[in-house]
Amino acid sequence: MSGKLAVLAVMAGLFMSVAALGTAWAQDDEDEGPMSNMHFVVVRDWNGKPVRNAAVVLHPITKKGKQAMGGMELKTDDDGKTGIDGIPYGPLRVQVLAPGFQTFGEDYRVNKAEMEITIKLKRPVKQLSAAGVQETTKKPDDKNAGDNKAQEAKPQ
């Protein structure tokens, strides 16, 4: 009988520990302060049509203004919309990536219970290629080879 009592005592202790841990987590959540429900709409800059399957990446920002570790990624639906509830007030870095568009990035201040942010993605910028540019600096071996040829060409 005492064996059963010992098992019950251990189980009761475990239950109390889990309950205390749950209370501590609940207190941590309360300390975070007000939260916001964030809604994002991602559209094409040139015609306002929605961009589906765009990755909306949210990064917290530290008090020193640096991007904190972690973050989360959301995907837009067919209407270019996505959202998340429970984002703490304060600075938030938003990046949006979608194939065929320039990467978007901007910092926002979360300060309302409900926020909607519309992001207009632009077409990619044409880039110049360096393929047609010739190298003008000589390699050390080329320099010595050129000196030998120059010496041979001089009349003696």
Q: Are residues 76 and 42 in the same domain?
A: yes
CA angle at 125 for the pair 56 and 118, rounded to the nearest 5° = 30
Q: Are residues 38 and 113 in the same domain?
A: yes
Q: Are residues 11 and 64 in the same domain?
A: no
In a domain, 138, yes or no: no
What are the φ/ψ torsions at residue 88 (nearest 5 degrees)?
A: -65, 150
pLDDT number for residue 65? 86
Work out the average pLDDT over 67-77.
93
In a domain, 154, yes or no: no
Indicate the average pLDDT of the chain: 77
Domain of residue 5: give its range: 1-31
Q: Are residues 39 and 113 in the same domain?
A: yes
* Contact call for residues 40 and 120 (beta carbons, < 8 A): no
Using CA atoms, how far apart are residues 49 and 51, in angstroms rounded to an integer?
Answer: 7
Q: Are residues 75 and 104 in the same domain?
A: yes
- Structural domain count, the chain: 2
Determine which helix (DSSP H) or strand (DSSP E) holds 115, and give its type and residue range.
Answer: strand 114-121
Q: Are residues 63 and 104 in the same domain?
A: yes
- pTM (2 d.p.): 0.62
CATH number at residue 42: 2.60.40.10
Model confidence at 40: pLDDT above 50 = yes
Model confidence at 27: pLDDT above 80 = no
Using CA atoms, how far apart are residues 63 and 143, in angstroms rounded to an integer?
Answer: 55
Quick check: helix, strand or coil at residue 100?
coil
